[in-house]
Structure 1
């Protein structure tokens, strides 16, 4: 009897399947230190316990995207080990801050299946929830993945593509208990721009760039326990290149957005996201943002801002799609998210 696990292929998924992912992981300050070593992340709320306490939190949480990567990594052996590509995200919500000492685990439900016309791959839609040691849901999101078939003769399932909310309302967002920006220190945060200073439709070129390094990406995939073959096995792709984990690009772009959005402190909602083109080591990632919406919240001094974050490997800022409506080849990421910012 085989003891090893080759991972699920497209024909192995059934609509309604619930997958309990191994292995729970207790996070510590080490995750924060390594996250800040991998990315130029410096939002004050996640960098300073004192800044977090002045903002009404007990201490600085683990970076929102670091918590996302931990949960995401739990799902890879069951969802995307044999993936061709991770295609997109929707309905993402950060429901509770994750603190050092919390233990995270993940569970996913298959909510959609659609075989591709080539008969060799199919798209799997899952809703994933990350839970802490108290069985509280700390985050949830939907993602869809293109997965290889192992048995090409396996019958195609009835296609089911879930209807997903395109944009979360501000009422859907979970604001951490106690969060209060009324005494926010803009000097320590790094910029003076507050919620009221941003206008709908405003575009921000974040100016800086970071060249993606193979070694850093390998550290990141191991840190997040991301075992997808396309990320670490150079023999898995015909071109012999290791595909950069899309979350690595998300974190890099988010870190770059500090220059111009230093006070967009917490990501609390993910409306949608697309990895528009593959990223490989050696590419230099730059980023720009567009303000899509702004809403007041019930928390003192806290506003919600909806942002489009675009990561590119070149070209002029603010260029997104060609005349054919398709993403330009240099566009790596198109992410639509809600963040919390002092008013």
Structure 2
């Protein structure tokens, strides 16, 4: 894994997840539209002109929606497919209105289904474009129906409906955006250590298991490193907790500075940090930590380090963490401010 390889994402892509999660709701909206059209046909009967065309269009629209629900083809690379659904929905509604009572009938508000669908997943701009398309459909339906738009009643009807579509679409899109921002903030609070900005224990565990699974499949090594500060209690007692926090921040910055973009760095709790280095064996991890120790030789910052490597020291992530932790305590027992590894023979734990 190169220095530019990204971590497995612990970032909630709200738009992608929303699109994936909304597909069930989308199909339900489409099927609701089909049910409303079917109910209208049952109650009012097929129109004398274009009735069979309306029936075939309804069957085709339902078949399209049913096929899409079985294929489950929505993901972050196919967002445009959702836009296609909303445009087809607008076309179907326009055909239905043309075949029945036009925009002066009671079901002209069906366009609102397409507006809400777009606002929930595609954003403000796409929704505004669709409202503009709906306005064009209104004009087309008036022209095809042989009536004029330039009457007080028709102007009031069209302008009122379009204003409602714009307001509902904008407010829905704004609400969705606010929810996305709130969810991103909650994710950051749940996955980041508030003092250092590093991943916290929960986030490290989630990502580390993903990297471990990748290493198992590819049979590539990785190393786990446990770092614990030496003398933090003495700093807190003699200089205060603010000085202790500054020392923790100093170490966190140094760990981030020596890590690649593919490496995990997390605060495991208190003055203990943990790193995971993909595609790095025990010797590579030890050399990296020796360079880190040498870089702070002239400062008061001191810490003890333990290293364990997959599969040399174990084949389970939990075992590697235990061995790295034991190696860290060996460093402390030997005087601190050094890096240690356990004998690979001791790798079977538990």
**TM above 0.5, one fold?**
no
Query: Which structure is higher in strand share?
Result: 1
Q: Which has the higher helix share?
A: 2
Larger RCO, structures 1/2 (Cα 8 Å, 6+ apart): 1
* Max Rg structure: 2
TM-score w.r.t. length of structure 2: 0.21
